[in-house]
């Protein structure tokens, strides 16, 4: 597709900010993928599946930004993705890490909403509302996981609690599925 820059309907700085968030979503997809591998190798198969599915969701978010930037006459620029952080030490730190990650991402989304409002870029403002809503769901989802972990931890050493927590997470509602081809 030819790019006609005179048709660009987002500011240069908005294009840059949207690209930055697009790459942040790709980074999150990688981060969740790495956590899935970690959970799998620590015998939390349900949590691993939950993280793998969530990785796909983050990739879909990345794609939404990509399509929007291009649809507005901008150019999506795929950047390098930093390596995922070190593996968590245990399930609790893993969950807290994910929680913090989602809270940070909500702030990034709000900053884009602010910017769209400042620029009176109502198309981008409208586009970003989907992400505002999505972050409400994601925060609720991960907060639910934190609650389940807190409940399971009450009776310390009871592995059955963690077994049910793991099984629960496998069935936690998410929009994305793990790509079929990769299913064992």
Residue whose CB is less far from Fe ion, 124 or 162: 124
CA distances from 81 to 29, 49, 50, 102 (A): 10, 22, 22, 18
Residue 53 touching Fe ion (CB under 5 A): no
Per-residue contact string for residues 60-99; x = within reach of Fe ion by CB under 5 A = -x--------------------------------------
Are 146 and 130 within 8 A, CB to CB? no
Residue whose CB is less far from Fe ion, 59 or 162: 59
Q: Least Å distance between CB 156 and Fe ion?
A: 30
Closest CA to 15 of 3, 28, 27: 3
Residue whose CB is less far from Fe ion, 116 or 135: 135
Q: Least Å distance between CB 139 and Fe ion?
A: 9
Q: Least Å distance between CB 86 and Fe ion?
A: 20
| Cα separation, 95 vs 62, whole angstroms | 22
Residue whose CB is less far from Fe ion, 58 or 166: 58
Q: Least Å distance between CB 58 and Fe ion?
A: 5
Distance of CA 40 to the CA centre of its chain: 19
**Residues in 104-163 at the binding interface with Fe ion, rule: CB under 5 A:** 138
Are 30 and 152 within 8 A, CB to CB? no
Tell me which stretch binds Fe ion (CB under 5 A): 5-13, 16-24, 54-62, 71-79: 54-62
Give the per-residue SS3 of 26-46.
Answer: HHHHHHHHHHHHHHHHCCCHH
| Cα separation, 42 vs 95, whole angstroms | 14
Q: Least Å distance between CB 83 and Fe ion?
A: 19
Q: List contacts with Fe ion (CB under 5 A).
A: 25, 58, 61, 138
């Amino acid at each position: 597709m030819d790019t006609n820059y005179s048709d660009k309907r987002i500011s240069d700085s908005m294009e840059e900010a949207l690209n930055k968030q697009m790459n942040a979503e790709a980074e999150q997809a990688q981060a969740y993928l790495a956590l899935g591998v970690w959970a799998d190798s620590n015998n939390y198969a349900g949590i691993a599946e939950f993280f793998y599915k969530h990785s796909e969701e983050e990739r879909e978010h990345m794609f939404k930004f990509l399509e929007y930037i291009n649809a507005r006459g901008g150019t999506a620029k795929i950047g390098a993705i930093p390596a995922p952080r070190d593996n968590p030490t245990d399930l609790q730190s893993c969950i807290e890490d994910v929680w913090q990650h989602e809270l940070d991402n909500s702030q990034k989304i709000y900053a884009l909403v602010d910017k769209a409002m400042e620029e009176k870029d109502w198309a981008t403002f409208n586009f970003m509302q989907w992400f505002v809503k999505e972050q409400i769901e994601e925060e609720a989802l991960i907060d639910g996981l934190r609650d389940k972990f807190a409940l399971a931890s009450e009776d310390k050493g009871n592995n059955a609690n963690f077994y049910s927590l793991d099984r629960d997470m496998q069935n936690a509602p998410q929009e994305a599925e793990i790509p079929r081809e990769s299913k064992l």
